[in-house]
C-alpha cells in the first residue's frame, strides 16, 4: 500500500473521542473505501509480532473538549445501583421484621383515598368556569362592562384568588395525610397556572377580535399598532408590523381616494394573524369549545395556545414503559423515605424533644447544632437521590406519558440543567413548562411597567411563594426557610456574574451541585426540627 495513501487515511481518521460503529448499508463509496482500508490495516497489524499502535492527538471521553456525548451506560448504572439499594433494604427488613418493606409511608397512600379522588375531580371541574365566562366576555359589546378589558380581567383574577385559597384549605379542613396534601397542592398549582394562561390569552384574543370588527368602520376605530411576539426570526419582538410603516408611506402618496386604505388593510391583516394559530388550522373563537379546554388540561404544558403541534400516532411501547417507570420511581422514592430519610428525622426529633430532657441534663446550643449538622449529613445522599428521582418521574415519565396520550409533539420539558453554572441558568433549564409560564405571564407582563430588574425580582418572588406554600403544607409549619433560600439566589447570581467568577464553568457547576445537595437536606432539617 503506498505510504502517501496510508498517510491520507490516517489523517481522515477521527481524532476526537468516539466509538467504532458499522457503516450503514447506503453509505457512499468514499465511506466504504475508508472502512475497507481500516479493516485491512488492522488485519495486517494482527499478523505482526509487534502490531503498530496508532497514536494521535485525541482527548478522553470525559474531557470538556470531547465530542462524545453518549453516557447512556451510566444512566443504566444509576438504575442498577438503585435496584441494588432496594433489594438490600428489603433483605435487611426481612431479617429484622420478617417483612420486605416498612409500611409507615405506604399506609399513608390509602388513607381517605376516595376523598382525594372526589376533591381532585371537583377542583379540576371548577376551573372549567373559564370557558362559559369567556363566551360571555366575547359576546359583550365593545366598551361594555363585561368585556375582558373592562370587567372580565377583574372577575377572573378575583375568582382565581378565591379558587386557590379554597382548594388549599380543603386538605387542612379534611385532615388529610401529608402525601395526599402534596399531591392535591401540586395539582392545584398546575391547574391554577393552566387556568390563568387560558383566561388571559383568550381575553387578549377577545379584545383583538373586537378591534378587528371595529375596523369595518375605520373612521371610528382605533389604529394603534398590533404588538408582535418574539419569534426565532424576530427575537426582540416589535411594536408593530414591519409592513405597517411601508403601507402608511404608500398610502400617503396616493393622490386620489382614501390615503390610509393600505394602512387599514395591513392593520386588519396583523389582527387576523393574531387571532390565528401559528400552525394555521384554527382561528379564534373556534377554539372556545369544551373539547379544546379538556385537551389543554391534559396537554403537558402550562401556556395556552390555540393549537399545538401533534404526532401522528401513539407509541404504545413508549407509553407503557413510561407508566411502568412512573410507578417504579414512586416505589424507589418510598423506600428511600422509609429507610433513610424518616429514621434520621425521627431520631433527631427524639434527641431534640423537650419532653425527654431533664433539668439536670439540658441540651446546650452546641449540642443542638451538632444534632442538626449530623442529621443534615445523614440526609445528603438520600435527598440527592430523591431529587433526581422526582425530576425523572415528573419531567421524563409523567409529562412524557401525557404527551404520548395527547399526541403532544413538543417534548422539550427540560434542558441539560445538570451542567448549570448559576441559578438563573438552572431556573431556565430544569423546569421548562414553569419557566415558560413565568416568563410569559409574569416577567413579560410586568416588564413594560416596572422594568427588567424589578420584573425579575417579581418573578422570583412569586416562585418562592409557591415553593413556601408547598413546604408549609408538607410540614404544617410556616417558617420561610425555603422562601429565603430561593430569594438568596438573586444576589448569588449577581456575584457569579462578576469578572472574578464568570466563565469558570467547572467551579460554578461544582458550587451549584454542592449548594443543591446541601440546600435540600438543610431546608428539610430546618422545617422538621426547628
What residues have CB less than 8 Å from 11, skipping those under 6 apart?
none
CB atoms within 10 A of CB 73: 8
Cell of 225: 399598532
User: Which H or E run contains 523?
Assistant: helix 505-529
Q: How far apart are the first and last CA of the chain?
A: 78
Cα distance between residue 55 and residue 38, in whole Å: 15
CA dihedral sign of residues 401, 182, 442, 481: negative
Cell of 49: 509480532
Q: Could you say which DSSP state residue 28 is in?
A: -
Cα distance between residue 45 and residue 32, in whole Å: 20
Cα distance between residue 231 and residue 278, in whole Å: 11
Cα distance between residue 23 and residue 40, in whole Å: 15
Q: In sequence order, what are the beta bridge partners of 3?
A: none
Find the catalytic residue in 61, 204, 407, 467.
467
Alpha-carbon radius of gyration of the chain: 30
Cα distance between residue 75 and residue 81, in whole Å: 10
CA-wise closest residue to 521 among 390, 372, 346: 372
- Reduced to 3 states (helix: H, G, I; strand: E, B; else coil), residue 276 is strand
Is the Cβ–Cβ distance between 137 and 147 less than 8 Å? yes
CA-wise closest residue to 271 among 220, 202, 223: 223
CA-wise closest residue to 221 among 284, 263, 166: 263
Is the Cβ–Cβ distance between 206 and 147 less than 8 Å? yes
Q: How many CA atoms lie within 13 A of 117 on its CB side?
A: 6
Among this protein's residues, is 61 annotated catalytic? no
Calculate the dihedral angle through the C-alpha atoms of 26, 28, 29, 32, rounding to the nearest 10 degrees: -70
- Reduced to 3 states (helix: H, G, I; strand: E, B; else coil), residue 408 is strand
Is the Cβ–Cβ distance between 247 and 265 less than 8 Å? yes
Cα distance between residue 348 and residue 522, in whole Å: 13
3-state helix, strand, coil in the chain (%, to 5): 65, 0, 30
Is the Cβ–Cβ distance between 158 and 133 less than 8 Å? no
CA dihedral sign of residues 43, 46, 52, 56: positive
Positions annotated as catalytic residues are: 467
Amino acid at each position: 500500500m503506498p505510504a502517501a495513501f496510508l498517510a491520507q487515511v490516517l489523517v481522515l481518521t477521527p481524532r476526537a473521542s468516539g466509538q467504532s460503529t458499522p457503516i450503514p448499508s447506503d453509505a457512499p463509496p468514499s465511506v466504504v473505501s475508508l472502512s475497507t482500508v481500516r479493516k485491512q490495516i488492522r488485519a495486517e497489524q494482527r499478523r505482526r509480532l509487534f502490531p503498530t499502535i496508532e497514536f494521535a492527538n485525541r482527548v478522553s471521553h470525559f474531557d470538556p473538549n470531547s465530542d462524545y456525548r453518549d453516557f447512556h451506560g451510566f444512566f443504566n448504572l444509576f438504575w442498577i445501583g438503585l435496584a441494588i439499594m432496594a433489594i438490600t433494604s428489603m433483605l435487611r427488613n426481612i431479617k429484622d421484621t420478617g417483612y420486605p418493606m416498612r409500611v409507615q409511608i405506604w399506609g399513608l397512600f390509602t388513607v381517605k383515598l376516595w376523598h382525594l379522588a372526589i376533591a381532585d375531580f371537583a377542583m379540576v371541574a371548577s376551573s372549567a368556569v373559564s370557558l362559559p365566562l369567556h363566551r360571555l366576555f366575547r359576546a359583550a359589546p365593545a366598551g361594555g362592562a363585561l368585556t375582558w378589558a373592562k370587567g372580565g380581567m377583574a372577575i377572573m383574577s378575583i375568582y382565581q384568588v378565591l379558587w386557590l385559597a379554597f382548594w388549599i384549605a380543603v386538605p387542612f379542613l379534611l385532615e388529610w395525610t401529608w402525601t395526599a396534601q402534596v399531591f392535591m397542592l401540586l395539582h392545584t398549582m398546575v391547574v391554577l397556572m393552566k387556568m390563568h394562561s387560558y383566561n388571559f390569552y383568550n381575553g387578549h384574543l377577545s379584545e383583538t377580535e373586537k378591534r378587528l370588527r371595529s375596523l369595518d368602520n375605520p373612521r371610528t376605530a382605533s389604529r394603534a399598532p398590533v404588538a408582535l411576539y418574539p419569534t426565532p426570526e424576530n427575537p426582540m419582538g416589535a411594536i408593530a408590523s414591519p409592513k405597517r410603516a411601508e403601507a402608511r408611506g404608500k398610502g400617503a402618496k396616493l393622490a386620489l381616494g382614501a390615503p390610509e386604505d393600505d394602512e387599514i388593510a395591513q392593520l386588519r391583516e396583523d389582527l387576523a394573524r393574531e387571532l390565528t394559530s401559528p400552525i394555521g388550522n384554527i382561528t379564534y373563537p373556534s377554539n372556545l369549545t369544551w373539547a379544546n379546554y379538556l385537551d389543554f388540561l391534559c396537554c403537558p404544558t402550562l401556556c395556552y395556545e390555540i393549537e399545538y403541534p401533534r404526532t401522528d400516532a401513539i407509541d404504545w411501547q413508549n407509553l407503557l414503559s413510561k407508566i411502568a417507570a412512573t410507578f417504579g420511581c414512586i416505589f424507589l422514592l418510598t423506600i428511600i423515605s422509609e429507610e433513610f430519610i424518616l429514621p434520621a428525622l425521627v431520631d433527631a426529633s427524639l434527641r431534640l424533644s423537650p419532653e425527654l430532657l431533664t433539668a439536670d441534663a439540658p441540651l446546650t446550643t452546641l449540642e443542638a447544632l451538632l444534632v442538626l449538622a449530623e442529621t443534615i449529613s445523614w440526609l445528603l445522599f438520600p435527598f440527592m437521590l430523591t431529587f433526581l428521582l422526582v425530576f425523572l418521574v415528573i419531567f421524563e415519565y409523567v409529562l412524557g406519558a401525557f404527551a404520548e396520550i395527547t399526541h403532544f409533539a413538543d417534548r422539550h420539558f427540560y434542558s441539560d440543567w445538570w451542567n448549570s453554572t448559576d441559578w438563573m441558568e438552572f431556573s431556565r433549564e430544569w423546569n421548562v413548562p414553569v419557566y415558560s409560564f413565568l416568563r410569559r405571564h409574569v416577567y413579560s407582563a410586568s416588564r413594560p411597567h416596572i422594568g427588567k430588574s424589578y420584573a425579575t425580582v417579581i418573578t422570583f418572588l412569586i416562585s418562592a411563594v409557591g415553593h413556601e406554600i408547598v413546604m408549609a403544607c408538607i410540614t404544617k409549619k410556616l417558617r420561610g426557610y425555603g422562601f429565603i433560600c430561593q430569594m438568596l439566589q438573586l444576589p448569588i447570581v449577581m456575584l457569579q456574574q462578576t469578572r472574578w467568577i464568570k466563565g469558570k464553568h467547572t467551579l460554578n457547576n461544582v458550587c451549584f451541585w454542592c449548594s443543591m445537595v446541601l440546600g435540600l437536606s438543610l431546608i428539610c432539617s430546618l422545617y422538621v426540627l426547628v
